[in-house]
Structure 1
Amino acid sequence: MPVEQDSGARLAMERRTIEVIPDAERHGTPLSQFTLWFGANMQITAIVDGALAVVFGADALWAIPALLVGNVLGGIVMALHSAQGPRLGVPQMISSRAQFGVYGAVLPLLLVILMYLGFAATGSVLAGQAVCEMLHIDNTNVGILIFGALTAVIAVTGYRLIHLAGRVATVIGVLGLGYLMIRLFTQYDVGAHVGDKGFDAATFLLAVGLGAGWQLTFGPYVADYSRYLPRDTSDRATFWSTFCGSVIGSQIAMTLGALTAAVAGKAFLPDQVGFLGDLAGPAFLAFLIYLVIVVGKLTVNCLNAYGGFMSILTIVTAFDGRSRISSAARAAYIVGFTAVSVVIAMAASADFLDNFKNFVLMLLMVFTPWSAINLVDYYVISRERVDIPALYDPRGRYGKWNVTALTCYVVGVGVQIPFLATKLYTGPITEKLDGADISWIVGLAVTSVIYYLWARRTANPPAETIRPAEPRPDEPTPGTHAPALAG
């Protein structure tokens, strides 16, 4: 019988961390993936991401379909990661040990943690501004601190409360962003601000990259939120629920952003939160829109804090052999991560749009090779067969380091450099393409090919998935090195 199903325990603090989720504790349906990812994408940072395509040169008429292409392509990759969760019952970056080795997975993990910190910090800037508008506070840092505290509380409570936040954000996001879309068309002549520019390949590909980058950066933690689903949950159902929630939610928000940037011009740049509040109209409605912004950002920021904690723990336990920690240590990790993101947010709130654009595009360079290796190995090389206990044992099947995966990863990052188009660096091939950034496409394709050709000769997948023995609810998961430690 599944545990923790009574109403009193539904929002109790989560006990599991990076260990395998026992079948007795599996629960939920694929619909939970739709609401979580829809709610996490119906928020202001996605609006800003869509606006970037127009701010940096694209006409909204071309930016919107380009963003859709990017969201669909990136969403396919992201949802394929999600489908691994119910089958394996482990966090996403733990499963990547099957490709990189128990120690080798640390390399991409370090970059993943930087990603979480970056998104948590940039999101906290916008949410902090909304909190200040709601409470009539002049100091944005105070709003950032309040938002950080809310993030820590929900992330510490864990999986169930995060999913509840996603359901709430879904409803509030539809109402709030739907209202803003109506206001945009009633307050501005939107038609007069779109279609002025012809098709431009460079800006079109920039918008595709922004959409794809948005989706691809969810890849390293998306299975963290599907791993509690029952093991017999359909792969297809998990895929489509995640894909539709993430792509539809992000596309709605990005479309609003692109149209807002088109009609607002430079007025949107200095104060995105304030502009949306003014667009809402009367003070009471503006207050509700600020609430929508906070709730949407709270959902995705909890994903960042939770994912950051899981990534840090995955690194630490690779070297000390643990698979569980105490609740106090778990809370300390999350609070510490959130505190660091808050400090970054308070120190780096200026020039948000430009910095965020370059942040997203740089992330594409480091995460597309990781996704390519993980997905090719899981679906093509290993054919969904994983030795789960070996994921926790550096002396096991997957070893400490996997030279094949690590080499392909480095090559996959390096091959993108000539194709980059960022503020910090523009590659020579990019200049010949008039600034069009196709680095993520090159990284995904090249890494997939070289990893497949090499790994099919060196990989050693099991004949069928090997699972640890099912523990009692009060015992640590077998197949790992050490029992639970107090802190």
Structure 2
Amino acid sequence: MPTSLVETRSIDVVPDAERHGTAFSQFTLWLGANLQITAVVTGALAVVFGVGAFWSVIALLVGNVLGGAVMALHSAQGPRLGLPQMISSRAQFGVRGAIVPLLLVIVMYVGFFASGSVLAGQAVGELTHLGDTTGIILFALLTAVAAAVGYRLIHTLGRIAGVVCALAFVYLGIRLLDRADLAALLHDRSFDFPLFLLAVSLSASWQLAFGPYVADYSRYLPRSTSARATFSWTLAGTVLGSQWSMTFGALAAAAAGDAFVGHEVSYVVGLGGGAAVITSLLYFVIALGKLTINVLNTYGGFMSMVDQRQRLAHAPSPRARRYIADHVGGHGVASASRTSCCSC
């Protein structure tokens, strides 16, 4: 078991001697990663697109469960292979064949990082009174440092964010319901199937976007870790965190309308009531939630870029090449395909 906080592994297979942790770590990580402002905005979009709050909540739950199940299947690969997600995709696409989907994944990471940095940078700017631009730069630097330290810090950050953000969302939910009548928000039960499917696709695509890197954060688990436990804890964390955030966003959008849409950060902070201490704490919570997910995107992006460099050079590391041949190649390809068909 490693004693250093700073990760020394890159995209090579993790040896059994360095494996550590339990499947429960996947619950805390994905709970913390999903209790954040971008998930809130995603939930609000269902209402903005015309779905009533009642059917929005149900549609978002359906999408989170369906997409989360596919995502959690990828997580179960981590202990078995000990490899980053995109490395194992060589079983489906080959070393050269996966270059195109890998490039698309990197572009996706950059987009997620940029949008997250803007939202969190606003919170950091308000918290430090240094302005949005400085806040974005500070947030980006903090993200880079955390991603460079690596796996152990990422999971520690997830545990902290899971607790802090959960407490904050309980408080924010109470404050929201103080302002709005829940029964009135859920009164409209008119059903439009195309709009319902649109809302399902919002949350399902949210979950599927984790697919290209979810195993990156379970690959250090001991090989003996149950695949069922890894799947179940990952699914529970990602569905609970995202549904909680998205439900809050849908209800906030239904209650506040234009006062929420386009002003998400200021609206959430405004729910605190204006007290300076509460306002600062809420800005901190917004920044912490975004830090967790942005570190995942940065870390996953780094893994993908290293993998891309190796593919373009046609030179996977000897250790990784041997491991893939022994554990993923041959009969392993069929089993890997069944459990990671969406690794692209």
**Bin of the TM-score, shorter chain as denominator length:** over 0.9
Q: Is the 8 A contact 1:323 1:392 kept in 2?
A: no
- Cα separation, 2, equivalents of 1:79 and 1:311: 19
Q: Which amino acid aligns with 1:113?
A: I
Question: Structure 1 residues 267 and 16, CA, compared in 2 at 3 Å: closer, same or farther?
Answer: same
Q: Which amino acid aligns with 2:317?
A: S
CA deviations 1:238-267 (Å, max 9, x no partner) are 000100000011000000000000001011
How high is the TM-score relative to the length of structure 1? Answer: 0.66
Q: Is the 8 A contact 1:85 1:229 kept in 2?
A: yes
2:118 to 125, 136, 155: 125
1:233 maps to: 225
1:36 maps to: 29
Question: Structure 1 residues 463 and 123, CA, compared in 2 at 3 Å: closer, same or farther?
Answer: closer
CA deviations 1:296-332 (Å, max 9, x no partner) are 10000000000000001111012332539xxxxxxxx
Task: Find runs of 4+ consecutive structure 1 residues off by over 4 angstroms.
Answer: 462-465
- Cα separation, 2, equivalents of 1:65 and 1:124: 30
1:194-213 equivalences in 2 (<5 Å): 194-196=186-188, 198-213=190-205
Tell me if 1:289 matches 2:282.
yes
2:317 maps to: 323
Tell me if 1:461 matches 2:331.
yes
Question: Structure 1 residues 218 and 273, CA, compared in 2 at 3 Å: closer, same or farther?
Answer: same
Q: Which amino acid aligns with 1:30?
A: A
How high is the TM-score relative to the length of structure 2? Answer: 0.92
1:462 CA drift (Å): 5.1
Question: Structure 1 residues 463 and 19, CA, compared in 2 at 3 Å: closer, same or farther?
Answer: closer
1:184-333 equivalences in 2 (<5 Å): 184-196=176-188, 198-281=190-273, 282-320=275-313, 321-323=315-317
- Cα separation, 2, equivalents of 1:255 and 1:313: 37
Q: Is the 8 A contact 1:81 1:222 kept in 2?
A: yes
- Cα separation, 2, equivalents of 1:105 and 1:305: 20
CA deviations 1:185-238 (Å, max 9, x no partner) are 012223323323511112211110011001000000000000000001000000
1:51 maps to: 44
1:276 CA drift (Å): 0.5
Tell me if 1:160 matches 2:152.
yes
1:97 maps to: 90
Question: Structure 1 residues 464 and 131, CA, compared in 2 at 3 Å: closer, same or farther?
Answer: closer
Q: Which one has a bigger Cα radius of gyration?
A: 1
Tell me if 1:76 matches 2:69.
yes
1:105 CA drift (Å): 1.2
Q: Is the 8 A contact 1:85 1:225 kept in 2?
A: yes
1:389 to 313, 318, 322: 322
Q: Which amino acid aligns with 2:68?
A: G
Specify the SS of the correspondent of 2:133.
helix
- Cα separation, 2, equivalents of 1:218 and 1:392: 26
- Cα separation, 2, equivalents of 1:193 and 1:106: 47
1:181 maps to: 173
2:164 to 169, 172, 191: 172
Q: What's the RMSD between the two structures over aligned residues?
A: 2.1
Specify the SS of the correspondent of 1:280.
coil
Q: Is the 8 A contact 2:144 2:295 kept in 1?
A: yes
- Cα separation, 2, equivalents of 1:161 and 1:462: 32
Question: Structure 1 residues 391 and 102, CA, compared in 2 at 3 Å: closer, same or farther?
Answer: farther
- Cα separation, 2, equivalents of 1:67 and 1:204: 9
Q: Is the 8 A contact 1:102 1:391 kept in 2?
A: no
Specify the SS of the correspondent of 1:49.
helix
- Cα separation, 2, equivalents of 1:283 and 1:202: 44
- Cα separation, 2, equivalents of 1:237 and 1:217: 22
Q: Is the 8 A contact 1:318 1:392 kept in 2?
A: no
- Cα separation, 2, equivalents of 1:131 and 1:179: 21
Structure 1, unpaired ranges of 5+? 325-386, 399-459, 466-487
1:403 maps to: none
Q: Which amino acid aligns with 1:227?
A: R
2:99 maps to: 106
Percent sequence identity over matched residues? Answer: 59
Structure having the higher helix fraction is: 2
